[in-house]
């Protein structure tokens, strides 16, 4: 109990402000008065208010993900203003959110986070592109607007994305399908790089991406922000706004509404326009919730809507077309700049409705969450006559998830969690595509149970646990003759992980984890049939007969689930002017499912190589380094290195689209404040991406076609992976950014100017499918204005 100095005066107010090291406010930080069990969340100016406090001694605990927590002792005699500066951490060793809420990240994880200033730097970019600034995270790209996150070389259905606590269930079966999430909803973007995310279900073989919005405000005052970003490349504009507040007379209730609009025309390389690469996006979300003393409930709804153009010059109907497209520079049908988005294009909507509630009863914390997601994807191709108006491919995916968790504090440093996850999915083709569906309709049911123990012992923090999952598919599709087939499959398996962090001393720690995670083959890997957007190759699923293409009877096929065993160890040190984080990892994936070349066929559209989903063992071995040095208080030097080698172990072969090694150095100079002009800074960043030398062999399409016309199938008895062209050369990119803030009474304006690819280099990135047809995008200068009120 606080010693009460002035018990009669219970009208004291504490107005506080939470800032980062460069004095930028941290909205969404939580402030907790331990003695009163009272919590607040900072507003857009980083400000919180506690009113009607009695005099006495209090401990304020201030927390924000990505920063070291702070405890501040206050002897409260009169109303006070309190300013707290939090120090950034690449990894956080303390608990993050108010104790009633789920911790999105465990103490014992190896992870990287974007929040505060680092997140502001990537505002306006898509989720995948934003995450690239975390060490060890890259992307698989399809043109300038489609980014799929890659964690330690692993991507797509091997990465779990948690959007505001809900497993994101979009249509991730294509290399050109980006996550359907607006990163503007997030106050934190976190990437967990180990395979131990046991609470959220299967599929986290490579890691977990967590998109975390700020806590809802509990104060009555209304705050918000408005952001406008303009970019030279694509003549693009982004506008995003947010408004939030409490509800008067209903303490504990808070609300927030948010929306983002984006529009870009054709992007351009150093030398030419990339026709039909514009995009549009319109997203909004609304949430309201009640939080008070150990109980809470929250409703959340978000809508995501995008239309993305696919480079006109990448459209091919046959291998001969692809030969032309590969040789053509600038790409075929390149036209002057336009905002017009024609075929081919994709249009995707994603709706998420979430209800969540928690209740603390003594040492027990109960958590229930329901999520409904509706994902609607349509892909439009260049088609004959009136058919162009119909999507060539379209699916609607409904996902219901229910997550429950019972967390029990067993002792001072021991927490036990037991939980259940259920999911029902229903995937339906959109009628009227006038194409044989590429993947079948299905209903799937999944259930999972987990048990996780967390405890501290001496200098060690431990987490260990296991989970069991069962998945059932009920499938109905159409085969190559357009005849209906039905199939049922089920899979089940166990995941387990153990992780520990050892505090070596006050400045350094070592984290190590060993986790095993699995995933069932996805329906696309089982039943894909045919070609899809911009791929001059035919793809066949695991469940199709190799000679007849007939759908196999499920009970007669021996299928294995993909199972990863991932080990990650991280050493972290902060000492004076130096900081360093070094991670090493090995991810060995048994029964890794991917498309391997299996032969060449002649159809009425000419010669086509074809690929089958096959299973083999694959390994991903790598290391991430991030080193910091601050020779002076206002000068920061940063260096990041990501190294990776991946292999198909069963076939002693290289895998395609594996990110090459990359190196980055940056220097940031913080200029002293000039009256009401605050936090001016200048930052320069140099990135080098090396050529991928561990790439599959090259066989040109011309060789394949010429051989086939002479009756030779170059792939028939030689299933080694291949690529149509050599991996592109390494490249350097320079970027420059500068920013300044101006405070105007209660509100604040941030201005930021960024130049990416400053030297306008013509380059191609190995993991961008655009590399087959065109250079990557040239110089881009953007100006961002942010107004916080």
Partner 1 sequence: MKLPVKISQPLLLTAILFINIACQNGDPIPENIPEFITKVVLTFSPEGSGSIIKVTATDPDGGGVQDIKVDGPINLLKNNNYTLSLALINELYKPGDDDYDVTEAIKKEGEEHQFFFSFSEGAFSSPIGAGNIKDYSSAIVGSINYLDKDLEGLPIGIETSWITSNTGVSSKSFRVLLKHQPAIKSSSSTSTDGESDLDILFELNVN
CA–CA gap between residue 105 and residue 477 (Å, rounded):
40
Provide the minimum distance between the beta carbon of 310 and partner 1 in the complex, in angstroms, as a whole number: 13
Nearer to partner 1, 63 or 429 (CB): 429
E strand or H helix that includes residue 131: helix 127-131
Nearer to partner 1, 293 or 726 (CB): 293
CA–CA gap between residue 499 and residue 487 (Å, rounded):
39
Query: Which residues, numbered 411-440, are part of the site for partner 1 (CB under 8 A)?
Result: 424, 426, 428-429, 431-437
Nearer to partner 1, 435 or 509 (CB): 435
CA–CA gap between residue 81 and residue 412 (Å, rounded):
33
Nearest residue to 279 (alpha-carbon basis) of 334, 238, 227: 238
Query: Which residues, numbered 64-123, are part of the site for partner 1 (CB under 8 A)?
Result: none
Query: Which residues, numbered 572-631, are part of the site for partner 1 (CB under 8 A)?
Result: 599, 601-606, 610
Q: Which segment (120-128, 179-187, 352-360, 576-584) binds partner 1 by CB under 8 A? A: 352-360
Size of the site for partner 1 (CB under 8 A): 75
Query: Which residues, numbered 625-684, are part of the site for partner 1 (CB under 8 A)?
Result: none
Nearer to partner 1, 71 or 481 (CB): 481
Q: Which segment (80-88, 487-495, 524-532, 673-681) binds partner 1 by CB under 8 A? A: 524-532
Nearest residue to 308 (alpha-carbon basis) of 490, 190, 453, 179: 179
Positive or negative, the Cα torsion across 96, 100, 101, 103? positive
Residue from the set 359, 537, 559, 582 that interacts with partner 1 by CB under 8 A: 359
Query: Which residues, numbered 478-497, are part of the site for partner 1 (CB under 8 A)?
Result: 478, 480-482, 484
Residue 411 phi, psi (nearest 5): -170, -170
Nearest residue to 522 (alpha-carbon basis) of 427, 620, 588: 427
Provide the minimum distance between the beta carbon of 446 and partner 1 in the complex, in angstroms, as a whole number: 12
CA 76 to chain centre: 43
DSSP 706: H
Query: Which residues, numbered 289-348, are part of the site for partner 1 (CB under 8 A)?
Result: 290, 292-293, 295, 297, 315-318, 320-321, 323-324, 327-328, 332-333
Residue from the set 81, 221, 549, 673 that interacts with partner 1 by CB under 8 A: 549
Nearer to partner 1, 602 or 725 (CB): 602
Provide the minimum distance between the beta carbon of 472 and partner 1 in the complex, in angstroms, as a whole number: 12
Residue 218 phi, psi (nearest 5): -120, 0
Provide the minimum distance between the beta carbon of 212 and partner 1 in the complex, in angstroms, as a whole number: 21
Query: Which residues, numbered 692-751, are part of the site for partner 1 (CB under 8 A)?
Result: 709
* C-beta separation of 319 from 704 below 8 A: yes
Q: What x-and-dash track marks residues 222-261 binding partner 1 by CB under 8 A? A: ----------------------------x--x--------
Answer yes or no whether residue 538 interacts with partner 1 by CB under 8 A.
yes
CA dist list (Å): 600 to 81, 248, 314, 329, 609:
74, 69, 21, 27, 4
Residue from the set 360, 383, 396, 694 that interacts with partner 1 by CB under 8 A: 383
Nearer to partner 1, 198 or 323 (CB): 323
Residue 783, phi-psi category: left (phi > 0), alpha (psi -120 to 50), beta (remainder): beta
Strands, E, within 64-141: which ranges? Answer: 70-76, 80-85, 111-115, 137-141
Residue/partner pairs of 480-483 with CB below 8 Å, 24 or more apart:
480/436, 480/529, 480/530, 480/549, 482/436
Answer yes or no whether residue 44 interacts with partner 1 by CB under 8 A.
no
Provide the minimum distance between the beta carbon of 448 and partner 1 in the complex, in angstroms, as a whole number: 16
* C-beta separation of 17 from 47 below 8 A: yes
Provide the minimum distance between the beta carbon of 168 and partner 1 in the complex, in angstroms, as a whole number: 17
Query: Which residues, numbered 385-414, are part of the site for partner 1 (CB under 8 A)?
Result: 385, 387-388, 398, 400, 402
CA–CA gap between residue 304 and residue 181 (Å, rounded):
7
């Amino acid at each position: 109990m606080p010693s009460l100095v002035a018990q009669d005066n219970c009208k004291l107010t504490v107005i506080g402000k939470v800032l980062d090291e460069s004095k930028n406010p941290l909205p969404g930080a939580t402030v907790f008065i331990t003695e009163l069990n009272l919590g607040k969340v900072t507003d857009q100016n980083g400000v919180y208010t506690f009113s009607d406090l009695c005099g006495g001694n209090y401990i304020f605990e201030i927390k924000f993900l990505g920063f070291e927590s702070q405890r501040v002792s206050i002897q409260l005699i009169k109303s006070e203003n309190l300013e707290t500066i939090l120090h950034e951490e690449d990894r956080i060793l303390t608990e993050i959110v108010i104790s009633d809420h789920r911790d999105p990240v465990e103490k014992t994880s190896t992870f990287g986070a974007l929040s505060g200033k680092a997140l502001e730097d990537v505002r306006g970019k898509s989720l995948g592109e934003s995450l690239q600034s975390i060490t060890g995270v890259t992307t698989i790209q399809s043109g300038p607007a489609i980014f799929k996150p890659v964690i330690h070389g692993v991507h797509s259905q091997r990465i779990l994305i948690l959007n505001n606590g809900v497993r994101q269930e979009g249509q991730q079966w294509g290399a050109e399908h980006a996550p359907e999430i607006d990163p503007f909803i997030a106050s934190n973007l976190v990437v967990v790089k180990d395979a131990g995310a046991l609470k959220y279900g299967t599929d986290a073989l490579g890691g977990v991406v967590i998109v975390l919005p700020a806590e809802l405000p509990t104060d009555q005052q209304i705050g918000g922000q408005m952001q406008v970003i303009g970019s030279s490349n694509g003549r693009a504009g982004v506008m995003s706004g947010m408004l939030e507040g409490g509800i008067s007379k209903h303490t504990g209730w808070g609300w927030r509404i948010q929306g983002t609009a984006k529009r870009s025309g054709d992007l351009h390389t150093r030398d030419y326009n990339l026709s039909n690469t514009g995009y549009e996006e319109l997203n909004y979300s609304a949430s309201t919730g009640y939080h008070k003393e150990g109980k809470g409930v929250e409703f959340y709804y978000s809508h995501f809507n995008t239309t993305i153009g696919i480079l006109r010059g990448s459209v091919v109907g046959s291998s001969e077309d692809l030969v032309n497209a590969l040789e053509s520079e600038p790409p075929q049908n390149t036209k002057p700049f336009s905002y017009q988005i024609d075929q081919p294009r994709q249009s995707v909507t994603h709706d998420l409705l979430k209800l969540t509630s928690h209740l603390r009863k003594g040492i027990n914390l109960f958590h229930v969450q329901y999520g409904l997601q509706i994902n609607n994807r349509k892909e439009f191709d260049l088609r004959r006559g009136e058919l162009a108006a119909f999507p060539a491919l379209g699916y609607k995916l409904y996902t219901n998830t229910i997550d429950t968790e019972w967390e029990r504090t067993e002792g001072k440093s021991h927490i036990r969690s037991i939980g259940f996850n259920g999911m029902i999915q229903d995937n339906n083709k959109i009628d009227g595509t006038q194409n044989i569906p590429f993947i079948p309709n299905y209903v799937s049911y999944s259930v999972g149970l987990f048990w996780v123990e967390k405890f501290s012992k001496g200098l060690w923090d431990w987490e260990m646990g296991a989970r069991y999952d069962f998945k059932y598919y009920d499938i109905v599709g159409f085969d190559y003759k357009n005849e209906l087939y039905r199939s049922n499959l089920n899979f089940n398996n166990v995941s387990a992980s153990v992780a520990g962090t050892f505090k070596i001393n006050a400045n350094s720690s070592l984290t190590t984890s060993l986790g095993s995670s699995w995933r069932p083959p996805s329906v696309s890997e089982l039943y894909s049939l045919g070609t899809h957007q911009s791929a001059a190759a035919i793809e066949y699923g695991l469940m199709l007969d190799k000679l007849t293409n007939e759908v196999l009877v499920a009970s007669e096929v021996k299928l294995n689930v993909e199972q990863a065993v991932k080990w990650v160890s991280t050493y972290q040190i902060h000492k004076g002017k130096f900081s360093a984080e070094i991670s090493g990892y090995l991810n060995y994936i048994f029964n890794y499912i991917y498309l391997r070349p299996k032969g060449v066929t002649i159809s009425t559209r000419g010669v086509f190589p074809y690929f089958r989903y096959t299973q083999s063992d694959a390994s991903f071995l790598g290391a991430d380094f991030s080193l910091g040095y601050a020779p002076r208080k206002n000068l920061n030097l940063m260096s990041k290195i990501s190294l990776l080698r991946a292999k198909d172990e069963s076939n002693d072969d290289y895998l395609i689209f594996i990110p090459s090694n990359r190196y980055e150095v940056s220097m940031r100079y913080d200029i002293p404040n000039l009256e009401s002009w605050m936090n001016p800074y200048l930052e320069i960043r140099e990135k080098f991406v090396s050529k991928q030398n561990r790439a599959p062999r090259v066989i040109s399409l011309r060789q394949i076609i010429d051989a086939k016309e002479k009756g030779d199938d170059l792939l028939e008895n030689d299933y080694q992976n291949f690529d149509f062209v050599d991996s592109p050369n390494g490249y350097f990119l320079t970027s420059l950014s500068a920013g300044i803030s101006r405070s105007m009474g209660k509100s604040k304006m941030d201005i930021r100017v960024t130049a990416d690819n400053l030297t306008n280099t013509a380059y191609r990135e190995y993991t961008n499918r655009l590399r087959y047809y065109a250079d990557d995008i040239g110089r881009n200068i953007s100006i961002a204005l942010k107004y916080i009120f």
